[in-house]
Amino acid sequence: MRKLILVIVYFLSVSVYALETEITVLGVTLPGANINQANTYLNSLISYWPTSTGTTVKLANGGVTIPIASTPSGSADVQLSAAKTAEQNLGLRNLYQADVILFFTTIVPAPIPNRIACGYAPQYNWTAAGAKKFVPDANGIDRAGSELWYAGLIATTETACNPYPETAAHEFGHLFAAGHLKPPANIYLFPDSHAMHISIGYPVYANYRTIMAGGPQGATLTGNFSSVSGAWDNLNTLNTTALSVANYRTGSSSGGGGGGGGGGECTLQAPTVIAGSLVNQCLPQLNTEHSVTWLDACPSASTKYEVWYSQPDGADDVKGWETTSASTPVFVIGADSRIRIKSCNNVQCSSLSAMSYLAYYDC
């Protein structure tokens, strides 16, 4: 007698999707930040990021930081929390599909008195303060910290930090669970998730460090991230977590260029988040110079921008000039001038931006 054996197969529904290998990073400046220093720090990430991770760094908004209004004072936690809230209200992370946001501020207060901090980038998903575990999903990645531990804070006016061009890369590394030197021990993802600092000889004739070591006095930066297995191996840590961070936000960033026809994914829109900063008070001659930037929710629909001004503030808006980039210098003389922007293509322009920037005269 034959026995019929029924094999019952259960299909488990899992979410499997194509993984992204680009880590999209958005730079944002808080009031008072040194914008030139912030842009330099941000763009340095490209050269410091290791190819062994199987990922690349993509800078949102062409590698130019975006100014927002927030609280550039208080403890590191207070500044970072306020900055994240301000960004969320503007929707910048979603607009640019940014995996990581780096906020550039003036000073980052150190948690220890009489010490200097150059930045702050908590990552409690993969450190001892949290789970200290990497738990992969069906795609082999761990996105558990994607909505909490995606942002860092970096000082731009602390003179003790400015000699270190890798300052942003250091804080960026923390978001991937890379650690400092050995003490305090075993608080990072792996026992060897530590930086390297080696001093050889007496008197010292060799003094080397890696990015996550910070700035031991007189030490020369060698390589980028430590890679000595079992001792100092932040590179292995980055290789483990990088693909997860690259998939914190999925999908293409709006604002991409490129050809191709049809589609029509978005249409011409009035710019938002008009922001600016003082550049020079009485240069050239009696002008007060400002730098003004804005956001375009659909830059692929725009070929140029019209800059309009109301001078004195409250007068009728008048067209001033055109530019092809989402920023412009503004020179004011005689009276304050309120700046608004239109997005344009070769046929038409949007309405004037609802938001504006007051370029004040101070000379």
Reported as a single tens digit per residue, the pLDDT across 26-76 is: 999 999 999 999 999 999 999 999 999 999 999 998 898 998 888 788 889
pTM of the model: 0.71
Give the C-alpha distances (Å, rounded to integers) separating 322 from 64, 295, 334: 20, 16, 22
Judge whether residue 114 has pLDDT over 70.
Answer: no
Tell me the chain's radius of gyration from C-alpha atoms. Answer: 24
What's the pLDDT at 13?
43
Determine the Cα–Cα distance for residues 130 and 335; give it in Å rounded to an integer: 54
Q: Is the pLDDT score of 110 beyond 50? A: yes
Please give the pLDDT value at position 5. 39
So what's the pLDDT on residue 37? Answer: 94
Going by their DSSP bridges, the two strands 318-323 and 304-310 should be labelled as: antiparallel
3-class DSSP assignment, residue 59 = strand
Residues 75 and 86 sit within 8 Å (Cβ to Cβ): no
pLDDT digits (tens, 9 = 90+) for 160-219: 887 788 899 999 999 999 988 875 656 788 888 888 877 676 665 667 788 998 765 567
DSSP string, 83-114: HHHHHHHHTHHHHHT-SEEEEEES-B--SSTT
pLDDT tens by residue, 252-268: 444 333 333 333 467 89
